[in-house]
Chains A and B, each alone.
Chain A
Amino acid sequence: MDVTLSRNGARALRVFFAFVVVFLYAPIVILLIFSFNNSAVPSFPLSGFTLHWYREFIGNSDLRGALETSAIIAVLSSIGAVLLGVLASIALVRRRFRAKPAVSALLLSPLVIPYVVFGISLLLLFHQLGIPRSILTVVIGHIVICIPYTILVVMPRLQQIDVSLEEAAYDLGATRLRTFRSVTLPLILPAVVSAFLIAFTTSFDEYAVASFVVGTRVTFPIYLYSALRFPSQLPQVIAVAVVVITVSLAVVLAAEIGRRVAERRLGALESG
């Protein structure tokens, strides 16, 4: 007898799982359907097929500008967060120091701060220092938010790597930097890439903190938020939504597949 589930129990859970997946994806499918619907109001009955909304959004320069701004911010933030996250991960995994629990708590604490609190904190900081709000102020905030994610992704990978590989490099006369470049980095590269992707998508989608520190160049989520308050723009926004959701799902899948392929290769290398 299987201790965890009876046959009927397993069947019931499978049905429940399918039901939840339908619940999770139905709203996305509904957006997809209405993005092709030939009507200014998204409602039933469907009134005909059109590509009008997609054409309109491709021609919308404000929207393209917002996407571009978000892309720039996401690239800068993820580079910064990965850099700081990798440094911190190496210290946490490879070095011994007394304050380690406190340091790791501080490094991970942006995970649990309510973003509304962090947003106003940054707003007050920049106000107090007289720093005008711009793309850079958003990047600063997003790096803080993304550091814990990069640490949580890079640290486990670093722990899997045999320290003796690095020690062998030192013994052969490599400097610390050289060892990192030729031994450690190639081994943690899959984790670094997924940390980069997670940070990128987090920053690209981030509204709460950005809404407090954004300058005159609005980001994509901020553009979206204001568009959501004007129903006339809704069908166009739905078309953008479909494109963005499709792209982000594709990135997620690609990252996952890439990570698995890389892990399998590394696994084969290490055992072979």
Chain B
Amino acid sequence: MRLDPTTPSLLGLPLAWLGVFFVLPIAIVAAYSFDVYSLNPGPHGFTLGAWRGFVHDPVYLRLFWKSVKMSLTVSAIIVVLAYPLAYYLALSGTKRKYVLLLVLIAPFLTSYLLRVLAWMVILGDQGVVNSFLFWTGLRSPAHPISQLLYSRFAVMLVLGYIWLPFVALPIFVSLESLDRRLLEAASDLGASRLQAFRRVTLPLSLPGVAAAFLFVFIPTLGEFITPSLVGGATGYMYGNQIVDLFGTGFPDWETGSVLAMFLLGVVTVLTVAFSRFLQPRQVATD
């Protein structure tokens, strides 16, 4: 096929921008992870030292596994919570479904940090929950429930709160595009509602569920903002470790680059594995 002469001029700028400011930076991180570049003066060249250290040091992999478990739990819980919401909007025949969808999603479009702030106000030792308990006499002010804030629980609650509205969206889209005639056919053939759901609706909505799951799992896996604000010691995640290795205390850019490349590798594998669920419809039907 003949290349339209204007295509390079259309794609040139966007591709150059991503090449220089997206692909090249990642290549530099890879170079640091192999010690091709280094923060330390003196001789250095290609070695696998930092990678070997990463694989043999149980601290990093254990922390990674802990973060995987935390974000898996959060993603699974909120996908399960979001499914009925999306189902209600898409299939209950409510007339105001787009208004309700907007109501559901609007909190997601407001500031991330301010939503974390709201939970700090709610969960703190002097916060809304505890001070309410003191006020009603259910708990003495000397003994607040202090595990509420600065804990793994707080991180997971806040992450779930932040991502819940967003998760409903891909599920809604897949349910909305469901051909209702299939359900009528199932019903005509004698299927109960539950059977129709299990054999028709659920399987056909799985791509949306998979996309929703991935869209939450990936950002929460690399999360460092919420854990650093509400996580305390027990809520410390893999992303915090990466930030700390590039921090001002004892920077170790080589190890930090290894951690970052490992996370990127895992995310890339997941994205490719799930990619058929992630294709925007428009691209898929091209």
Contacts and interface: CB of A to CB of B under 8 A. Distances in A.
Interface of A: 1-6, 9-10, 13-14, 16-17, 20-21, 23-25, 27-28, 30-31, 34, 41-45, 83-85, 87-88, 90-92, 95-98, 100-101, 103-104, 106-110, 112-118, 120-125, 128, 140-141, 143-144, 147, 152, 155-156, 159, 176, 201, 205, 207-208, 212, 221, 224-225, 228-229, 234, 237-238, 241, 244-245, 248-249, 252-253, 256
A144 B180 CA distance: 39
A243 B14 CA distance: 35
Contacts, number: 263
Given A125-B21, A140-B21, A3 B196 contact: yes
Contact of B110 (A85, A88, A125, A249): A249
Chain B binding surface SS class = helix
B243 interface: yes
6 contacts: A24-B161, A122-B21, A140-B21, A152-B280, A224-B114, A249-B109
A88 B22 contact: no
A141 B187 CA distance: 52
B267 interface: yes
A117 B256 CA distance: 10
Contacts of A238: 117, 121
Interface of B: 1, 3-4, 6-7, 10-11, 13-15, 17-18, 21-26, 28-29, 32, 37, 81, 84-85, 87-89, 91-93, 100, 102-104, 106-107, 109-122, 126-128, 130-132, 134-135, 161, 164-165, 180, 183-184, 186-187, 193, 196, 201, 214, 218-219, 221-225, 229, 239, 242-243, 246, 253, 256-257, 260, 263-264, 267, 271, 280, 282-283, 286
A83 to B, nearest CB: 8
Contacts of B223: 116
B198 to A, nearest CB: 13
A121 B84 contact: no
